[in-house]
Amino acid sequence: MTVAPTVPASRSGQARSRGPAHLSGQGRLERRWGVAMALPAILGFAIFTIGPMIASFVFSLTDWTIGGSPSFVGLGNYRTLGGDELFWKSLSVTTYYTLGAVPLALVIGFVVALLLNQKVRGLALWRTIYYLPTLVPAVASAVLWIWIFNPDFGLLNSLLREGGLPTSQWIYSEGAAVPSLVIMSTWGFGNAMVIFLAGLQGVPRHLYEAVSIDGGGVWQRFRHVTLPMMTPTIFYNLVTGVIGTFQVFNQAYVMTQGGPNNATLFYIYYLWRTAFTESQMGYASALAWILFMVIMVITFFLFRNARRWVYYEMAGAR
Amino acid sequence: MSSVAGVSGTRGRRMRPGRLALYVVLVLGAVPTMLPFVWLIRSALMNDDQIFVAPPDWIPNPFEWANFSGALTAQPFLRYFLNTMVIELFTVTGTVLTCSVAAFSFARLRWRGRNVVFALLLSSVMLPYAVTLIPTFVMWRSLGALDTFLPLTVPAWFAGAGGGVFNVFLLRQFFLTIPFELDEAAYIDGASPWKVFAMIIMPLSKPALVVVTIFTFIGVWNDFLGPLLYLSDESKYTLALGLASFQSVYTAQWGYLMAASAAVIAPIIVLFFVLQRYFIEGVTLTGIKS
């Protein structure tokens, strides 16, 4: 999970009423304990984030096979990337997957959240039913879906055959492989749904009442209250969804090994293969940095575009 | 829990047909959601003769319970389970402890640079894991820690490092809702910040701590990439890794595969049923809705 870009820092400056009776020792005590208690987090950030980030960038400027000694190649890796067909293939496969998976999860998650936001009997049960798939460990769901996609005896083709419909080779055909994985990912729309549900609970009731007093019906309530009030949540799910799908790995590793014919060569899978089976640490680091930049650029444009449609209740809440 | 039904009050009694349609849609939506589970369970309880018939049977006949014992003894799944639980123990403890200490510092102690440091920490949540993956691996390798549980557990003791920062954020949000007068009173009585943390804030924060515990537990249970990267000796495998290797060995033994998958999925689902309301609370707690 990632953090809502809209939330941080807004409350960090929350003023605390400090009595004038404050002893001078108290400030020093807080300072000392404050730094000490934040220390594990600060060290963790230094050791597991900033340090590796710098190292990763340095690695990306070298030609380095693990076990050997690195040689500095400047931007050579990045230049090689430009002509690397598999790099472009993995980028397009990943984009294709994101364009399919994110909108589907958002739309279905939103609709189901709307339904479950009604006074429904057995609410806990419904919520559980729709949330369950997201709890399934990635590997277990991969194993399950290989079987569901099995062309001869799998669930999907069995159903299609019984309905007299044309069957598919699913993950075993170049054309259907990514759409198959999109279907599989949509099964886990529960994550987006839960966040939508939380968002729906935050919509102020009095706004609905206002619309009702003006004679507005269900549609007006949805169009003029729910939808605008939910745009920050939709935006949050969109951003985290895109960032998440750009980092897909397990399906490619467990289910398809990037095949058939590189049709599911997801970006991180390609990176993984480069680093840990071909042992090209420098080149793989360059791949990582390009991914970082791609994600930053996409996020930047999403944020810029958001100004046009995301509605924030409080001005200045970013 | 009941608060989820938020809007309902404004809907009138006259919505009878709409009500019916709502339930119809909910049921129809539940079918594709639950079908893979049904398929999993029925396949887990069938022998090969039943699995490979077309059109497919839905009810196993006879019920092949032996798949479970067969699958779970074909590979040392008990061993994998114990390995997973050892990692869980160290990871959950470390995360809860160091994240709540840090969150306390960021929420309730004033020190220079606090907000800058917190913002920096938060920004790391947006970083793709691929960027730190290779250097972190190289680091553990040069420390001779490959094929140990250290790379999988030690980061937890640094406030979860990386993705774990989310927990610091969540706990901090919760700590901010506790009245500051409590601290003030304790300080006047001469308490140290540690005492305030341990005696006042922690006991009042059980819901948030439970949420962090659950999220961390599930994260470890579902983690595949970490164990794949760091564990190579089969006796050290976790459940997720064990299942993946099982899959590549028993490709055609669907009954076994499904039984093993079910065994990996079941505990997490049971956990969800027992602690259901905390999950929803966790999402609400994060303040995402604002």
Contacts of A270 in chain B (CB under 8 A): none
Quick one: closest CA in A to B265, which residue? A136
Closest CA to A224 of A240, A242, A204, A251: A204
CATH number where A230 lies: 1.10.3720.10
Answer yes or no: is A2 within a domain: no
Q: What is the mean pLDDT of residues A177-181?
A: 96
Q: What is the mean pLDDT of residues B13-18?
A: 64
Burial label for B258, CB within 10 Å (0-12, 13-18, 19+), is buried
End-to-end CA distance of chain A: 21
Q: Running DSSP on this structure, what letter comes out for residue A62? A: E
Contacts of B247 in chain A (CB under 8 A): 139, 142-143, 146, 254
Which of A33, A116, A123 is the closest to B193 by Cβ? A33
For residue A13, pLDDT over 50 is answered with no
Which of A7, A52, A128 is the closest to B288 by Cβ? A7
Q: Are residues B95 and B152 in the same domain?
A: yes
For all residues of chain A together, what is the average pLDDT? 88
Answer yes or no: is A313 within a domain: no
Q: Are residues B56 and B114 in the same domain?
A: no
| Inter-chain touch A155–B273, beta carbons under 8 Å | no
| Inter-chain touch A155–B36, beta carbons under 8 Å | yes
Of the ranges A31-35, A155-159, B59-63, B190-194, which one carries the lowest mean pLDDT score?
A: B59-63
Q: Could you report the per-residue pLDDT of B88-108, keeping only the tens digit for each?
A: 999 999 999 999 999 999 999
Beta partners for residue A62, in sequence order: A72
Q: Are residues B120 and B184 in the same domain?
A: yes
Q: Could you report the per-residue pLDDT of B128-176, keeping only the tens digit for each?
A: 999 999 999 999 999 999 999 999 999 999 998 867 888 999 899 889 9
C-alpha B82: how far from its chain's center? 17
Which of A13, A41, A66 is the closest to B158 by Cβ? A41
Burial label for A1, CB within 10 Å (0-12, 13-18, 19+), is middle
Residue B158: domain span: 74-285
**Distance (Å, whole) CA A256 – CA A171:** 7
CATH number where B216 lies: 1.10.3720.10
Return the pLDDT at B286.
58
Chain B: closest CA distance from residue A12 (Å) = 7
Q: In which band, very low, low, confident or very high, does the pLDDT at B123 lie, cut at 50, 70 and 90?
A: confident
User: Looking at the 3D structure of chain B, how many domains does it have?
Assistant: 2
Contacts of B101 in chain A (CB under 8 A): 37-38, 40
Which of B7, B111, B164 is the closest to A200 by Cβ? B7
Return the pLDDT at B6.
42
**Distance (Å, whole) CA B165 – CA B102:** 10
Answer yes or no: is A259 within a domain: yes
Respond yes or no on whether the N-terminal peptide bond of residue A204 is cis (omega within 30° of 0): no
Angle between helices A123-135 and B254-274 (to 10 degrees): 130
Contacts of B11 in chain A (CB under 8 A): 118-119, 218
| Inter-chain touch A143–B114, beta carbons under 8 Å | no
Chain A: closest CA distance from residue B261 (Å) = 5
Return the pLDDT at B3.
40
| Inter-chain touch A299–B184, beta carbons under 8 Å | no
Q: Could you report the per-residue pLDDT of B35-63, keeping only the tens digit for each?
A: 999 999 999 999 888 888 777 788 888 88
Quick one: closest CA in A to B58, which residue? A155
Return the pLDDT at A259.
83
**Virtual torsion, Cα B17, A206, A9, B123, nearest 10 deg:** 10
**Distance (Å, whole) CA B43 – CA B101:** 47
Q: Are residues B34 and B81 in the same domain?
A: no
Contacts of A51 in chain B (CB under 8 A): 135, 139
Quick one: closest CA in A to B266, which residue? A136
Beta partners for residue A280, in sequence order: A65
Closest CA to B255 of B134, B74, B35: B74
Q: Could you report the per-residue pLDDT of B237-255, keeping only the tens digit for each?
A: 999 999 999 988 887 788 8
Interface test with B, best of A23, A29, A112, A143 (most B CBs within 10 A): A143
Chain B: closest CA distance from residue A130 (Å) = 6
CB B105 within 8 A of CB A33: yes
Burial label for B251, CB within 10 Å (0-12, 13-18, 19+), is exposed
CB B60 within 8 A of CB B50: yes
Task: Enumerate residues 6+ apart whose C-beta is below 8 A from A128.
Answer: B272, B273, B276
CB B95 within 8 A of CB B160: yes
Instruction: Give me B191's structure tokens.
Output: 């308490």
Return the pLDDT at A292.
95
Return the pLDDT at A317.
42
Instruction: Give me A259's structure tokens.
Output: 């095949």
Answer yes or no: is B113 within a domain: yes
Size of interface A-B (CB pairs under 8 A): 367
Answer yes or no: is B290 within a domain: no
**Distance (Å, whole) CA B99 – CA B160:** 7
Instruction: Give me A101's structure tokens.
Output: 């998976």
Contacts of B243 in chain A (CB under 8 A): 137, 139-140, 143
Quick one: closest CA in A to B19, which residue? A120
Q: Are residues B260 and B156 in the same domain?
A: yes
Q: Are residues B166 and B29 in the same domain?
A: no
**Distance (Å, whole) CA A292 – CA B131:** 7
Residue A63: its H or E element: strand A62-63
Quick one: closest CA in A to B282, which residue? A198
CB B258 within 8 A of CB B44: yes
CB A11 within 8 A of CB B122: no
Return the pLDDT at B283.
64
| Inter-chain touch B161–A135, beta carbons under 8 Å | no
CB A250 within 8 A of CB B225: yes
Which residue reads 């515990």 in tokens?
A: B213
**3-class state of residue A72 by DSSP:** strand
**Distance (Å, whole) CA B51 – CA B45:** 9
User: Looking at the 3D structure of chain A, how many domains does it have?
Assistant: 1
Chain B: closest CA distance from residue A279 (Å) = 10
Answer yes or no: is B12 within a domain: no
**Other beta carbons within 10 Å of B273:** 10
| Inter-chain touch B35–A155, beta carbons under 8 Å | yes
Chain A: closest CA distance from residue B82 (Å) = 17
Q: Are residues B182 and B275 in the same domain?
A: yes
Q: Are residues B215 and B256 in the same domain?
A: yes
Interface test with B, best of A28, A119, A318 (most B CBs within 10 A): A119
Q: In which band, very low, low, confident or very high, does the pLDDT at B284 lie, cut at 50, 70 and 90?
A: low
Answer yes or no: is B142 within a domain: yes
Of the ranges A15-29, A213-227, B130-144, B261-275, which one carries the lowest mean pLDDT score?
A: A15-29
Chain B: closest CA distance from residue A175 (Å) = 23
| Inter-chain touch A56–B132, beta carbons under 8 Å | yes
Q: Are residues B114 and B186 in the same domain?
A: yes
Sign of the Cα pseudo-torsion (B88, B90, B96, B102, in order): negative
Q: Are residues B131 and B152 in the same domain?
A: yes
| Inter-chain touch A292–B133, beta carbons under 8 Å | no
Interface test with A, best of B106, B131, B139 (most A CBs within 10 A): B131
Q: Running DSSP on this structure, what letter comes out for residue A280? A: B
Answer yes or no: is B69 within a domain: no
Q: Could you report the per-residue pLDDT of A239-283, keeping only the tens digit for each?
A: 999 999 999 999 999 999 998 999 999 999 999 999 999 999 999
Respond yes or no on whether the N-terminal peptide bond of residue B62 is cis (omega within 30° of 0): yes
Q: Are residues B52 and B186 in the same domain?
A: no
**Distance (Å, whole) CA B211 – CA B7:** 26
For residue A195, pLDDT over 50 is answered with yes
| Inter-chain touch A118–B276, beta carbons under 8 Å | no
Burial label for B21, CB within 10 Å (0-12, 13-18, 19+), is exposed
Q: What is the mean pLDDT of residues A5-29?
A: 52
**Is B117 or B252 the better-scoring residue by pLDDT?**
B117
User: What is the identity of the amino acid at B103?
Assistant: A
Return the pLDDT at B95.
96
Answer yes or no: is B138 within a domain: yes
Return the pLDDT at A19.
44
Phi, psi of A286 (to 5 degrees): -60, -40
Q: Are residues B169 and B55 in the same domain?
A: no
| Inter-chain touch A146–B286, beta carbons under 8 Å | no
Answer yes or no: is A179 within a domain: yes
Answer yes or no: is B7 within a domain: no
Answer yes or no: is A165 within a domain: yes
Residue at which a domain ends, from B6, B36, B63: B63
Contacts of B192 in chain A (CB under 8 A): 29, 33
Residue A119: domain span: 85-307
Answer yes or no: is A31 within a domain: no
Answer yes or no: is B139 within a domain: yes
| Inter-chain touch A11–B173, beta carbons under 8 Å | yes
| Inter-chain touch B188–A132, beta carbons under 8 Å | no
Q: What is the mean pLDDT of residues A108-129?
A: 89
| Inter-chain touch B288–A198, beta carbons under 8 Å | yes
Q: Could you report the per-residue pLDDT of A212-240, keeping only the tens digit for each?
A: 888 888 888 999 899 999 999 999 999 99
**Is B167 or B126 the better-scoring residue by pLDDT?**
B167
Q: State pTM to two decimals.
A: 0.87
